[in-house]
Structure formats: C-alpha cells, structure tokens
Amino acid sequence: MAYRAASIANEFLDLAGQAGRKITQIEIQKLTYFAHGWNLALTQQPLIGELIEPWRYGPVVRTLYESFRKFGSDPITEKAVSWGMAPNGKFGYETPSIQSENLAADLYARALVRNVWEKYGSLAPFKLVEITHLPDSPWKKAFDRKQTYIKNEDIRAYFESLMVTAQNG
C-alpha cells in the first residue's frame, strides 16, 4: 500500500523533533524521495502514491510543496495536513500519519523512514540536493529530458544499483 507523502513527511518531522532539529522544505522533499526510492528497491512497491516531479533543486512531491510552501526556506514548524475524510468520519482537514493509514504495515514503513533519517537526516540541505543531482540519478535524467515526472521504474533501478554497490563495497 502506498502512503500519502504527507504521512511520510510527518514521520520525518517527528524524527527531527525527537533529535532536537528543525528541517526545511528542501530536506523534507529529499528525505521523502529517498524513503520512496529505497522502498522501491527493497519491495518493488511505491512508498508514496503521489508522482515526483523534477524541479530545479531536485525531486519534489507537489502536495508536500503545497503543504509547506508558506515556510519558504525557513524551518518547517507544523505538520502537513490533508483534505479528506478525518478519523471521526467527517470531511475536513486531518494530519495524516503512517499509523492512521495502514496499521498492519506501519512498523515496516516507520523503520524504513527511521533508517533513511539515520543515513541522510544529518546532511545539509544542499548536500541532499547534490546527491539527487548526481549524473546518473533519476532526477538528472528526467530534468534533462524535460519530463513532467520522474518514473518510478527509474527511481527503483537507481536505488537498486545503490544497494548492489553497497553490498559489493
């Protein structure tokens, strides 16, 4: 099951808060992208249901951009919200979480997000951008080809190659 990007982003915001850190829009976008990529490589399934776009500073999930745009380049100080059916059965805004979406899979998804946080969470925002801009990256290919979206197949193949490199080296 694919999660809403907001659920994954909110998990990263929780982890940042636990670490006493604030993170920016650039960081939340890249961390969510990395979690999605590693999930594709490990399970062959998307972690998030939204499409990822190749923007100038790297991969962007538009719904996350819309949720956090008011912060600009400042640290994000509140969680993402979504418009939809709230847990109380009423239509309105909610703050989505991994647990509220899929209780059976939340332990795996939360562990994946935690592992991505441990690997990438301490990196500076523009270091994350640099990683997404590597010559063979899915972002680079999509951006250079002026594609509207970064294909999940390209993301999966790229992260699988990173997995093989890590295993061999």
Please tell me the pTM assigned to this model: 0.89
Q: How far apart are CA 122 and CA 19, in angstroms?
A: 10
Closest CA to 33 of 138, 161, 165: 138
Query: pLDDT tens digits for 9-51?
Result: 999 999 999 999 999 999 999 999 999 999 999 999 999 999 9
> In angstroms, rounded to a whole number, what is the distance separating the alpha carbons of residues 94 and 4?
12
User: pLDDT tens digits for 47-101?
Assistant: 999 999 999 999 999 999 999 999 999 999 999 887 665 555 665 555 666 666 5
How deeply is 61 buried, as exposed, middle or buried, from its count of CB atoms within 10 A (0-12, 13-18, 19+)? Answer: buried
Domain ranges of the chain: 5-161
In eight-state DSSP terms, residue 23 is -
